A and B are shown apart, each in its own frame.
Chain A
Amino acid sequence: MEKNKFIETLKPRFKELKFSLYLLNRNWLTKVSFYIVILLILLATFSQAISPFPGHIMDEANVSQKLLPPTSTNIYGTDELGRDIFSRVLYGTRVSLTTAILSVGLALLIGIPLGAIAGTLGGWIDEVIMRITDVFLSFPPLLLAIALVSILGPGLGNAMIAIALSWWPWYTRLVRGQAISLKERKFVQAAEAIGTPTWKIIFRHIVPNTVSPVIVQASMDMGGVILTVASLSFLGLGAQPPIPEWGLMISTSRNYFPDAWWYSIFPGLAIFITVLVFNLLGDGLREILDPKTRKN
């Protein structure tokens, strides 16, 4: 009996999920980008195994083969140390996706609790937290990260911290809005009535209910974060050699540009396609989940 009731309550959710999948299937651009994102994740996972020259990913040099244009063995050509650019670009997928996921994760770790606290408690705490987010949001996006990396010192790990520190306010704003409406709901008021401590209400009742919009937002932000990582590395502030990071590869390739055009072009295309599919998917998701556009 109990079990059936539970399933009954889940039914409308399944219906909505099925409807979402139907909408996702209807827009071919969103559908294609969804499949490419899956493919990219698979490539990132197995990049080492499928790369034609696994040794070239890091710093195994082969100077006699340096700066060769694309051929059937090295389909993207070779770089200044004779390494296969295709293998490095392929592995770069893993570097970029991991960095982006970790940066967004760290931003969520800062942003969600602050937003939930601001929204639930209100009053002067809310005012202080929101003014701090205003301050962080008034820095041009990459510039704060540049300033932060210059204190922390260049490196992929520090770049992640810098990106997280400049990205968290977006999530604080989002979660705060959610928390303000959630705290008027019956289950929160019931919890308050039986004397649940405030911190428990925030982390047991409010935060879990903000998860889905936050995840959607975070997936939409992936494209922007990947681009920021590449830009920082291009400026020499992110990944350091011999890590095969796309932005860093383009930065190094400038020394051999424009003669070795393939060295610059392929890592750039990789950034473009990855960011594009994440943005298209995010755009599609927004349309699917926005109640205004959902029904028609």
Chain B
Amino acid sequence: MGKYVIRRILLGLIVLLGVVTITFVIARMIPSDPAAKWVGPRATPQQIEEAKIELGLNDPLPVQFANYVIDLTQGNLGRSLRTHQPVVEDLKAYIPPTLELVLLAFLMAIILGIPLGIYSAKMKDKFLDHASRLFSIGAVSLPTFWVALFFQLIFYRMLGMFPLGGRISAETTILYEIPRVTGLLIFDSMITGNWVILKDALWHIILPCITIALYPIGLVARMTRSALLEVLNEDYITAARSYGLKEKFVLWRYALKNTLGSTAIVLTLSLGYTLVNTFLVETIFSWPGLGNYVATSVVTLDYPSIMGVTIFSAATYILLNLIADIIIAMDPRIRL
């Protein structure tokens, strides 16, 4: 087990190095002059030349790559060509809002997806089961950016229930001091007891969060359903039933426990897709997160920030895969 985990971690690091290499190659192929972008449109040729030396663009490519990797190990992702800030600082500002959306969406997926899966397993081949299958496939087929617009049309324009976008109302930011502990607004306002801000933040997050949660809800429901159906056929369930245990007890205490592992894995692996959905949704709800940051960076060809976000997302994905593999390995039924 220990040996397996170490081997997986090493493999993960090799893959991460590969990710960095590919991102570096992509960034160096972008047909634009980073030095010219750095000094701005009115710079003299001499200033551009100086910027080239400052940014290390005159070094041979292998040297540039080595420097980039060394910088990375020290947590330095370079400077954004647009904001002139270190990319790491930018990421620190933009990651919490995105994380808040993703975490809340996953929470919804667990709260709604697992019961939905249980009921459709109980009602196998009945109406609810078919409806939940259709919902899960439908959720994967929906263009997220369009759902976001659709929600705005109904809940903002027609019903006036929720705001058009943003993370918090302008008035609230003026009247109250925004608590900054972790950067997760909902969590921060909860621990500091700031109920006005909490209410405002929740009011703003609901629409983007539901839009993002649709996909993981469907996924969790389907996974719970199929895992539960498999488990319910096992001998130990038949044995528990023949002892005369109540069906509810068998389902919740005996069967469900054995499905949680696979649900956790599916949820972990769905992060890649969910993250990209979050990026798209952010651009529509003007959510100040990574998605908006990437969208602006792509337009301005600000390659250090595109690379930063790409490497960050891939690293998170690799880490979660690693965790999923370790969860699988911890299962005593599997021998490695």
**Complex formed: what's the CA distance from A261 to B151 in Å?**
12
Task: Indicate whether B26 reaches chain A with its CB closer than 8 angstroms.
Answer: yes
B310 engages A247 (CB within 8 Å): no
Query: Interface size on B (CB < 8 Å)?
Result: 53
Task: Indicate whether A146 reaches chain B with its CB closer than 8 angstroms.
Answer: yes
Given contacts A138-B321, A146-B298, A276-B137, whether A271 and B314 have CB atoms under 8 Å apart is no
Q: Total A-B residue pairs with C-beta atoms closer than 8 Å?
A: 139
Task: Indicate whether B187 reaches chain A with its CB closer than 8 angstroms.
Answer: no
The 8 Å CB contact of B146, one of A153, A237, A264, is A264
**Complex formed: what's the CA distance from A148 to B150 in Å?**
29
- Hey, which chain B residues are within 8 Å of A250, CB to CB? 143, 145-146, 149
A257 engages B149 (CB within 8 Å): yes
**Complex formed: what's the CA distance from A271 to B309 in Å?**
28
- Hey, which chain B residues are within 8 Å of A268, CB to CB? 143, 146, 149-150
Q: Give chain A nearest CB distance to B198 CB in angstroms.
A: 28
Among B167-175, B249-257, B273-281, which stretch is in contact with chain A? B273-281
B141 engages A140 (CB within 8 Å): no
- Hey, which chain B residues are within 8 Å of A236, CB to CB? 299
Given contacts A138-B19, A257-B149, A268-B149, whether A230 and B143 have CB atoms under 8 Å apart is yes
- Tell me the residues in window 139-157 of chain B with beta carbons closer than 8 Å to chain A beta carbons: 140-146, 149-150, 152-153, 156-157
Task: Indicate whether A139 reaches chain B with its CB closer than 8 angstroms.
Answer: yes
- Hey, which chain B residues are within 8 Å of A147, CB to CB? 23, 26, 306-307, 310
B152 engages A140 (CB within 8 Å): no
- Tell me the residues in window 132-152 of chain A with beta carbons closer than 8 Å to chain B beta carbons: 132, 134-136, 138-144, 146-148, 150-151
Given contacts A138-B19, A151-B31, A264-B149, whether A247 and B143 have CB atoms under 8 Å apart is yes
B26 engages A271 (CB within 8 Å): no
- Tell me the residues in window 264-299 of chain B with beta carbons closer than 8 Å to chain A beta carbons: 272-273, 275-276, 279-280, 283-284, 294-295, 298-299
Task: Indicate whether B334 reaches chain A with its CB closer than 8 angstroms.
Answer: no
Given contacts A151-B26, A279-B137, whether A143 and B143 have CB atoms under 8 Å apart is no
The 8 Å CB contact of B318, one of A138, A264, A283, is A138
Task: Indicate whether A272 reaches chain B with its CB closer than 8 angstroms.
Answer: yes
- Hey, which chain A residues are within 8 Å of B299, CB to CB? 236
Given contacts A139-B314, A141-B273, whether A132 and B18 have CB atoms under 8 Å apart is yes
A231 engages B298 (CB within 8 Å): no
Q: Give chain A nearest CB distance to B132 CB in angstroms.
A: 13
B275 engages A138 (CB within 8 Å): no
**Complex formed: what's the CA distance from A147 to B19 in Å?**
12
Task: Indicate whether B14 reaches chain A with its CB closer than 8 angstroms.
Answer: yes
B14 engages A131 (CB within 8 Å): yes
A140 engages B146 (CB within 8 Å): no
B141 engages A148 (CB within 8 Å): no
Given contacts A138-B314, A147-B310, whether A237 and B149 have CB atoms under 8 Å apart is no
Query: Which A residue's beta carbon lies closest to that of B273?
Result: A141
B18 engages A134 (CB within 8 Å): yes
Query: Which B residue's beta carbon lies closest to that of A140?
Result: B272
**Complex formed: what's the CA distance from A211 to B19 in Å?**
30
A150 engages B306 (CB within 8 Å): yes
Q: Write out, one digit per residue, whether chain B residues 104-141 have a CB within 8 A of any chain A CB (1) or not (0).
A: 00000000000000000000000000100010011011
B276 engages A141 (CB within 8 Å): yes
Task: Indicate whether A294 reaches chain B with its CB closer than 8 angstroms.
Answer: no
Task: Indicate whether B313 reaches chain A with its CB closer than 8 angstroms.
Answer: yes
Given contacts A135-B18, A147-B23, A258-B156, whether A227 and B275 have CB atoms under 8 Å apart is no
A279 engages B140 (CB within 8 Å): yes
Q: Chain A CB within 10 Å — which of B14, B15, B21, B307 has the most?
A: B15
The 8 Å CB contact of A279, one of B18, B141, B272, B309, is B141
- Tell me the residues in window 6-34 of chain A with beta carbons closer than 8 Å to chain B beta carbons: 29
- Tell me the residues in window 207-234 of chain A with beta carbons closer than 8 Å to chain B beta carbons: 223, 227, 230-231, 234
A258 engages B273 (CB within 8 Å): no
A140 engages B149 (CB within 8 Å): no
Given contacts A135-B22, A258-B152, whether A140 and B313 have CB atoms under 8 Å apart is yes
**Complex formed: what's the CA distance from A29 to B144 in Å?**
24
Given contacts A146-B294, A147-B310, A150-B301, whether A138 and B15 have CB atoms under 8 Å apart is yes
**Complex formed: what's the CA distance from A247 to B280 in Å?**
12
- Hey, which chain B residues are within 8 Å of A42, CB to CB? none
Which residues of B are interface residues toward A (Cβ below 8 A)? 11, 14-16, 18-19, 21-23, 26, 29-31, 130, 134, 137-138, 140-146, 149-150, 152-153, 156-157, 272-273, 275-276, 279-280, 283-284, 294-295, 298-299, 301, 303, 306-307, 309-310, 313-314, 317-318, 321
Can you list 17 pairs linking A and B with CB atoms under 8 Å apart? A138-B16, A140-B275, A140-B276, A140-B317, A142-B280, A143-B275, A143-B309, A143-B310, A146-B294, A151-B29, A227-B143, A231-B144, A235-B280, A235-B298, A250-B149, A264-B149, A275-B140
Which residues of A are interface residues toward B (Cβ below 8 A)? 29, 131-132, 134-136, 138-144, 146-148, 150-151, 153, 223, 227, 230-231, 234-237, 247, 250, 254, 257-258, 261, 264-265, 267-268, 271-272, 275-276, 278-280, 283
9 nearest interchain CB pairs? A135-B18, A268-B146, A275-B141, A276-B141, A140-B272, A142-B276, A258-B157, A151-B29, A271-B143
